[in-house]
Amino acid sequence: MKALTFRGKENIQLEEIRDPAIIHPSDAIVKVKACAICGSDLHVYHERERGIDPGTAMGHEFTGEVVEVGKEVRQIRVGQKVMSPFTTSCGQCFYCRQGLTCRCIHSQLFGWVERGQGLHGGQSEYVRVPLADSTLVEIPEGISTEEALLLGDVLSTGYFCALQAEVKPSGVYAVVGCGPVGLMAVVAARYLGASKVYAIDTVAERLAKAKEFGAIPADATVGNPMEEILEATEGRGADGTLEAVGSGSAVKLAFDLVRPGGIVSSVGVCNDPHVAFSPVEAYNKNLTYRIGRCPARFLMDKLIPLVKGRQYDLASIFTHRMKLSEGRAGYEIFAGKKDHCLKVLLEP
- Give residue 223's domain range: 155-291
Confidence at residue 113, expressed as pLDDT on a 0 to 100 scale: 96
Confidence at residue 223, expressed as pLDDT on a 0 to 100 scale: 85
Q: What is the CA radius of gyration of the chain?
A: 20
Do residues 61 and 36 touch, judged by C-beta distance below 8 A? yes
Q: Same domain, yes or no, for 129 and 183?
A: no
Q: Same domain, yes or no, for 144 and 22?
A: yes
Q: Same domain, yes or no, for 299 and 286?
A: no
Instruction: Calculate the dihedral angle through the C-alpha atoms of 60, 62, 68, 69, rounding to the nearest 10 degrees.
Output: 60
Quick one: average pLDDT of 16-28? 97
Confidence at residue 49, expressed as pLDDT on a 0 to 100 scale: 64
Q: Same domain, yes or no, for 127 and 251?
A: no
Confidence at residue 270, expressed as pLDDT on a 0 to 100 scale: 87
Structural domains in the chain (count): 2
Question: Does residue 154 have a pLDDT over 90?
Answer: yes
Ranges 8-12, 224-228, 261-265, most confident: 261-265
Q: Same domain, yes or no, for 167 and 258?
A: yes
Question: Does residue 94 have a pLDDT over 80?
Answer: yes
CATH number of the structural domain spanning residue 254: 3.40.50.720
Confidence at residue 51, expressed as pLDDT on a 0 to 100 scale: 76
* Residue % of the chain over a pLDDT of 70: 99
DSSP type of residue 110:
B
The pLDDT tens digits of the residues spanning 43-82 come to 899 886 667 999 999 999 999 999 999 999 999 999 999 9
d(CA 174, CA 202): 14
DSSP string, 156-206: HHHHHHHHHTT--TT-EEEEE--SHHHHHHHHHHHHTT-SEEEEEES-HHH
Question: Does residue 285 have a pLDDT over 80?
Answer: yes
Quick one: average pLDDT of 241-265? 96
Tally of CB atoms within 10 A around 338: 11
Query: Could you give phi then psi for residue 83, rounded to 5 degrees?
Result: -120, 160
Question: Does residue 122 have a pLDDT over 70?
Answer: yes
* Alpha-carbon separation of residue 198 from 49, 230, 308 (angstroms): 30, 12, 25
d(CA 108, CA 105): 9
Return the sign of the alpha-carbon dihedral for residues 159, 179, 186, 277.
positive
Q: Same domain, yes or no, for 148 and 9?
A: yes
Helix (H) or strand (E) holding 132: helix 132-135
Q: Same domain, yes or no, for 111 and 11?
A: yes
CATH number of the structural domain spanning residue 77: 3.90.180.10
* Residue % of the chain over a pLDDT of 90: 95
Q: Same domain, yes or no, for 168 and 144?
A: no
Amino acid identity, residue 247? S
Whole-number average pLDDT of the chain: 96
The pLDDT tens digits of the residues spanning 179-206 come to 999 999 999 999 999 999 999 999 999 9
d(CA 161, CA 268): 9
Q: Same domain, yes or no, for 173 and 65?
A: no
Q: Same domain, yes or no, for 263 and 338?
A: no
Query: Could you give phi then psi for residue 193, rounded to 5 degrees?
Result: 110, -5
At residue 302, the 3 state secondary structure works out as helix
Q: Same domain, yes or no, for 312 and 227?
A: no
Closest by alpha carbon to 42, among 246, 298, 249, 306?
246
d(CA 197, CA 216): 6
Quick one: average pLDDT of 283-305? 98
Q: Same domain, yes or no, for 163 and 283?
A: yes
